[in-house]
Copies of this chain bind each other. A is one copy, B any other.
């Protein structure tokens, strides 16, 4: 049943050759207005759609982009997915969604994408081994890392200037009178964590502040919660916490509150990302806003360029962002 009609069927009805039908649907090339109309009418009648697989096979091109995500639980990334989808689908691309469970994109996941001849892959919040990177390169697949970059690997990347952001946050905390610092980070092997820690530490070092406790965990609520509880247990005279991202910060806030510590009266908390929830009254989290849309537009430009131009050069692009001040930080005398 349900025969799928093809360009030959359309050609027959329209009284033209298959070639002409193809011309109409491939666009551009010259077809007389009269036949074009006939063909479109015939296509309409049969509800004909060009077969994307046949098209990919012959053109060796594809309108599919691999979207590798981790941590889709994190609202930051679900927002990212949504925006990427909207931008790319407007350009006629389709997304193959892959939820990577691992720190590094896996062989198996790469193969899935290779089999579908994707010409571009966007990787968010996950790493790329150099062998994987080479593999993509060998197949001529454009790769853009989002919110991560990898040293010594010439993949394109778009990320936020975590280093400068952390410096500004640290400065803000120091200048608002905080004395004892904690940094609850995500996994310590990611560029985001490293840069944020580096910037934060540097400011404290410059001012000769030694009181910094660092706690490395995951980029999750639970991890933030647990870290906060452990910090409380250590019973230091902590007066502020810088969290590796917002979701950690929310966990930390809840951990502190449950431990009977009030925010910001006793401890200030700063996050990173500016996810929607950070603006909810229950949290009113002061945080760093990543210019998500700008970053995504940029990533989309990079990947489309690399896909359409073999000689396009890899670029690593850094965006700024800004501090969003809410009510989770208190000026201390």
Q: Which residues of A are at the interface with B, using a C-beta cutoff of 8 A?
A: 1-2, 4, 47, 49-54, 56-57, 60, 62, 67, 72-73, 75, 78-79, 81-82, 85-86, 89, 94-99, 101, 111-112, 114-117, 135, 138-140, 221, 250, 253-254, 257-258, 276-277, 280-283, 310
Contact = CB atoms under 8 A, between A and B. Distances in A.
A97 B85 contact: yes
Given A78-B73, A111-B49, A282-B282, A97 B99 contact: no
A178 B263 CA distance: 33
A96 B95 CA distance: 6
Contacts of A111: 49
Given A95-B96, A221-B280, 13 more contacts: A1-B310, A4-B117, A47-B138, A51-B115, A52-B115, A53-B54, A72-B81, A73-B276, A75-B75, A94-B96, A94-B112, A94-B116, A221-B276
A282 B310 contact: no
A95 B60 CA distance: 21
Number of this chain's copies in the assembly equals 2
Contact of A78 (B78, B96, B135, B253): B78
A250 B280 contact: yes
Contacts of A258: 281
Looking at A57, A60, A97, A140, which has the most chain B CB atoms within 10 Å of its CB?
Answer: A97
Nearest to A59: B53
Given A53-B116, A94-B112, A282-B257, A99 B85 contact: yes
Contacts of A114: 49
A51 to B, nearest CB: 7
